[in-house]
Chain A
Amino acid sequence: MDLNKRKKLNQSIAFNLFRLMSLMVVLILGAILSFIVYKGIGVLNWNFISSMPEDGMTKGGIFPAIIGTLYLIAGSILFAFPIGILSGIYINEYAKDGYLKRFIRLMTNNLAGIPSIVFGLFGMSFFVLTLKFGDSIIAGSLTLGLMILPIIIRTTEEALKSVDNSFRHGSYALGASKLKTIQKVILPIAFPNIITGMILSVGRVSGETAPILFTVAAYFLPRLPHSMFDQVMALPYHLYVLSTSGTNIKESLPMAYGTALVLILIVLIVNLLANTLRRFYGQKVKMN
């Protein structure tokens, strides 16, 4: 009886500890989010979003940085999305279980594990210097695109895997070819999940700093880019500049809070969108 009591006591102590620690993690996130929202909300207004930085980046807005980040998102998605999806289709639908498939998977995982600064070094050496793109949107987009490729490949693979085999068999039974089956049956079903991967990679691209440091990001460039071979400012790099190496760090601090809030908002929206899509899609699958 005594042993039993001790067992129960131990368990309740341990479980409450686990509960407390989980609460702590939630509180950490809550602290970071609420701090940045609290400090940044006063700065955030239409003027902040739509105007150029002024007075050594202590006044004005972050318009060029937002536009720059949008360009980078568009560029990297344009590069990585088609290749990533095709690659995912090949791995899940065509590749047979064996060395080739395992090798491709291994390489995809390895690519995902490479630190972002190494992508930055590679982007500088290959796109900027060897291919002579210079510090440009195209060099930055390609570098970021390589970085999000594994995310897109994996989500595509997962999405295709979750399509029940009965769909494939049904389509074959009706005389459709493999390609037609993929095109008309499997892709439409898997599409929402594939989109989720794309949305998540938008979040990643908009927040990464290290890969763009030496491939595209401009310290201060209060105008819009003229072409694909122009430099741009970008939100994460702008936040870094404002908080560590601006001309007047104390005075540019409110700007930094505002920029951080915009970045946080992007991440929040991206996560919300991805989760809603996943939930909506999950229900649809159940109805089938």
Chain B
Amino acid sequence: MKLFLKKFITKIIEGTLFLSSTITSLAIVLIIIFLFKEGIGIFGHSSVEDGFEIVVNKDNTIKDLSAIQIKDIFDQNITNWKEVGGKDDSIITFRVDDIANYYSEEELGANLEFVPDKVNDLISKTSGIVAFIPQKYATKNFKGKVLPADKITITKFFSGKEWFPTAQPAAQFGFLPLILGTLWISFGAILLALPLGLAVAIYMSEIANSKIRRFLKPTIELLAGIPSVVYGFFGLVIIVPLIQSLFNLPVGETALAGTIILAIMALPTIITISEDAIRTTPRAMKEASLALGASHFQTIYKVIIPYSISGITAAVVLGIGRAIGETMAVLMVTGNAAVIPHTFLEPVRTIPATIAAELGEAPQGGLHFKALFALGCILFIITMIINLTVEYISSKRKFQK
């Protein structure tokens, strides 16, 4: 009986151990479910706010308007129906708040009870009108034409050049400026960090004596340990003003500032991983090269670097992954303008910074909220691809050995 109990307890403990080891898989599954559950919701959704409609006069020949056209019309960038494929007639935009310009307070009623009727009248008698009105105004005996809602699709999400998630009447969820901003500063950062990181890795593993190495190793670890918000703060008070005065810019919060900070932050990743890779070079290989009369430096760049190139690649890929996902430091120093960048001296906005800056203000369950989760999904997919790539590279390395 006692033996049985003991076996039983052992089984339970082993079961617990096994269950604990599934926690990371479970976490990833949960992250996927809860991220995509919200994020997918944006696709197929109308870009016009829930409960509202875009309507025109019933004689208008226009069949539909895209979200970007609606925005341009209401921003007065498009002023004639001709420009969106209709007949030659100037566009009159109308929001419910504008009703007071057309009718007196008496006509609208003391409790504004006649507003729907008056809106209806106005739309039916103004030929060039385009109105943004609540859905309930457009129900029975409505004399205007309701335009079909422009659906947000994956293609539009990825090709849209404008990110105005709170624009009325049609929010713009163009993802292009964000992904370009992210890629610009991530690759810029790696370009800066790679030569520096590789040099330090080579120095630490091949040249420095053990005393210097014992000093450098904790230094790199410390560099990795500094919180990103402290990097951001340092960038904000030192690098941003420096860039501003150096290039004579109106603002110093630029892609360049983000690139520099990210490069510093990516250094530890690149150094540690490529140093590990360099260290795995077999001694025999090095000695063979030296015995053939090659200098130490020649051995490094003809033998050691080629041998450890896959490890160095892994370091670069992982460094890019870190840079793409970095939030706070980038949020603090890049200026966060959602425009497609042309030079490094302009403000940019990255995907993580957008999420961090806007999620607090986005109403829960709304379109904007869902759009930010969709951004999170994309970030998740990008980092997954990067992780799997690194995994693939390092598994191939093991096989080679």
A-B pairs with beta carbons under 8 Å apart, 5 shown: A15-B296, A25-B219, A25-B267, A207-B227, A214-B360
A113 partner, pick from B25, B236, B386, beta carbons under 8 A = B386
Q: Which 7 A-B residue pairs are closest in the complex by CB-CB distance?
A: A115-B325, A207-B227, A86-B20, A11-B297, A21-B199, A90-B17, A90-B21
Please indicate the chain B residues that have their CB under 8 angstroms from the CB of A126 in the complex. Answer: 30, 34
B168 interface residue (CB < 8 Å to A): no
A253 to B318, CA, bound (A): 34
B327/A116 in contact, CB under 8 A: yes
Kindly count the residue-residue contacts between A and B in the assembled complex, taking CB atoms under 8 Å apart.
Answer: 242
- Bound-state CA distance A21–B328 (Å) is 27
A248 at the interface (CB under 8 A from B): no
Q: Are A18 and B207 in contact (CB under 8 A)?
A: yes
Instruction: Name the distance in Å between A239's Cβ and chain B's nearest Cβ.
Output: 5
Interface of A is mostly: helix
Name B1-38 residues within 8 Å CB distance of A: 10, 13-14, 16-18, 20-25, 27-28, 30-31, 34-35, 37-38
Which residue from A86, A124, A150 sits with its C-beta under 8 Å from B359?
Answer: A124
Which one of A125, A210, A243 contacts B233 once the chains associate, using CB atoms below 8 Å?
A243
What residue of chain B has the Cβ atom nearest to residue A253's Cβ?
Answer: B237
Could you tell me if B21 and A113 are in contact, using CB atoms closer than 8 angstroms? no
Q: Taking the nearest CB of chain A, how far is it from the CB of B229, in angstroms?
A: 4
B226 nearest CB neighbor, chain A only:
A267
Q: Does B355 contact A (CB under 8 A)?
A: yes
Contact A87 B21 (CB under 8 A): yes
Say whether A118 contacts B22, CB under 8 Å: no
Q: How far is the CA of A206 from the CA of B16 in the complex (A)?
A: 29
- B298 — which chain A residues lie within 8 A by C-beta? 7, 11
Q: Which residues of B contact A (CB under 8 A)?
A: 10, 13-14, 16-18, 20-25, 27-28, 30-31, 34-35, 37-38, 195-196, 199-200, 202-204, 207-208, 216, 218-223, 225-234, 236-238, 264, 267, 271, 295-298, 300, 318, 321, 324-328, 332, 352, 355-356, 359-360, 364, 372-373, 376, 379-380, 383-384, 386-388, 390-391
Residue of A nearest to B328 (CB): A209
Q: Which residues of the partner chain A approach B202 to less than 8 Å between Cβ atoms?
A: 18
8 Å CB contacts to B: which residues of A136-175?
146, 149-150, 153
Considering the complex, give the chain A residue whose CB is closest to the CB of B365: A129
Residues of A within 8 A of B203 (CB): 15, 18-19, 21-22
Selected contact of B229 from candidates A15, A82, A207, A268, CB within 8 Å: A207
Contact call B327/A209, Cβ cutoff below 8 A = yes
Contact residues on A (Cβ < 8 Å of other chain), bracket: 35 or more
Rounded to whole Å, the gap between the CB of A238 and the closest CB of chain B is 9
Q: Are A213 and B196 in contact (CB under 8 A)?
A: no
Q: Is A83 an interface residue (CB 8 A)?
A: yes
**Are B355 and A106 interface neighbours, CB within 8 A?**
no
Contact A115 B22 (CB under 8 A): no
Instruction: Give the docked Cα–Cα distance between A17 and B25 (Å).
Output: 45
Contact of B325 among A24, A82, A117, A124 (CB under 8 A): A117
A22 near B199: Cβ-Cβ < 8 Å: yes
Interface residue A45 (Cβ < 8 Å from any Cβ of B): no
B227 touches A24 (CB 8 A): no
Residues of chain B within 8 A (CB-CB) of A89 are 17
Contact with B along A3-24 (1 / 0, CB 8 A): 0000110110011011101101
| Contact present for A22 and B17 (CB under 8 Å) | no
Name the distance in Å between B225's Cβ and chain A's nearest Cβ.
Answer: 5
Closest B-chain residue to A213, C-beta based?
B356
Complex Cα distance, B265 from A28, in Å, reads 11
Chain B residues in 8 Å Cβ range of A270: 225
Take A21-B203, A236-B229 as given contacts and tell me if A117 and B356 are in contact as well, using a CB distance cutoff of 8 Å: yes
A52 to chain B: which residues have CB within 8 Å?
Answer: none
Q: Is the CB of A111 within 8 A of B28?
A: yes
Known pairs A32-B231, A149-B27, A179-B10; list 18 more (Cβ under 8 Å).
Answer: A18-B207, A22-B200, A25-B267, A86-B16, A107-B24, A107-B25, A110-B384, A113-B321, A116-B325, A117-B325, A117-B379, A130-B34, A149-B24, A150-B24, A200-B225, A210-B356, A267-B225, A275-B218
A271 at the B interface (CB under 8 A): yes
Known pairs A32-B226, A107-B28, A243-B332; A118 contacts B356 (CB<8 A): no
CB distance from A190 to the nearest CB of B (A): 15
Query: Do A214 and B359 have beta carbons less than 8 Å apart?
Result: yes
A107 cross-chain contacts in B, Cβ below 8 A? 24-25, 28
